[in-house]
Structure 1
Amino acid sequence: MSTMVVLLAVYRPGPQLPALVTDLLPDGWAAIVVVDDGSGADAAGCLARVRALGCTVLSDSTNRGKGVALKAGLRHVAAQYPGCAVVCADADGQHRAEDLRRVVAQGEPGRIVLGVRSVDRMPLRSRIGNTVTRLLFRAATGHRVTDTQTGLRLLPGPMLDRLSAVPGEHFEYEMNVLLEAARTGQAIDQVEIPTRYTDANKASSFSAITDSVRIYRPLLRHVVTALLTRAR
């Protein structure tokens, strides 16, 4: 794991964050980087705990969105750990240390690996959203991605500079990364991970309306472009 960096973008983190970091420590990662997306004073204690465990903690003074936080983390890794791949994960209890290990075990040089969940086991809101985006993604790109909204992703080190320039400030950034990968012919592998939610995912900061619009806008744009291209 010494050539891998774990990147955790968090907003108002709870006890799941230090628990995940503690479980990851024995693996000997090059670094564990936590990017706090403007959680405020209430998160100070939690962030202090993971900093004491050896994490690098980057903090923004305002809540700017998951995409902004992820890109800040990618730029940091590219500058401080050149060539290292990045494993992005959520720290809200959905992803555990064994899930990250499973994704890394499937990784091959130069390939993106997604930790995909079983759609049938998702809460209704997540199941509907993921099904729609999965179908639209296939229509737009021709690629079958089981779980387009997963936050567990292995990103190759040579891609970090390019991925940190992909547009998107919120959850749509993760979709734009997949669209960019499909556009450039980047290989995407998938490995199944357990589907875990706490209290039907009520703690998620995902907005069913605002963030869905942000995600569907670039998807629909790609669908229309693909249809026009095929019609020529």
Structure 2
Amino acid sequence: MSLVIRHGKIVSSTRIIDDGYILIKNGSIAEIGREPFTGFAEETIDAEELIVLPGFIDTHTHGIQGLDFTSNRDPYSILEMARHYARHGVTGFVATTVTAPLEVLEEACKAVGEAMEMWRGGGSRILGMHLEGPYINPDAAGAQNKIYIRTPNVDEFKRLAESCRGVVKQVTLAPELPGAATIIAYARSAGITVSAGHTNASYDDGLRAVELGVTKASHLFNGMTRFHHREPG
């Protein structure tokens, strides 16, 4: 199967081609160039006056089109969301839950895992699950339900992550909380990305968190310590 996208404004990681083409063979990009295209393709898409660029990867998204990953805990709803994401240029996403009871998070994780197994290319690729909470600071809860916020406990988190069988790819937590450091260490060993969020961490807390293995920030500057002339936050 071959497909060529023609006459689009192509944006790649290294250049912009105002009148270009992309040749795709068997699902992979075979050639990118400037018009005219002189090769052969079984199918042609005219992208004149359109921008053609790599698909977006969304690592923090709670849902779309009236559906969400915490409430709609079944693989069919997740696959439906995947189709909606693809229509908006998102080619891969990490399904994100909100702070909720552990049993709800386990059910959501199971549904995401089942959807990943069922996915056959009909929509955006499901890359895993992002747990936003429950180990966040109640003083920076924002829209998260404080009732379900929990004290960081590495054994509890380990049981949750292991029950998800590799589906959890990211966790957002407040690194200044007692017990958070051990979760960060375990998450790193398990290949789970740790993001700081819903946190009252100080600047020094943030530096220590980075040293421990925190590599991201969830909604940077939102749900975090504010700037102050004597404390950078």
Q: TM-score, normalised by structure 1?
A: 0.26
Give 1 or 2: higher helix fraction.
1
TM-score, normalized by length of structure 2? 0.26
Higher relative contact order (CA 8 A, sep 6+): 1
Larger Rg: 2
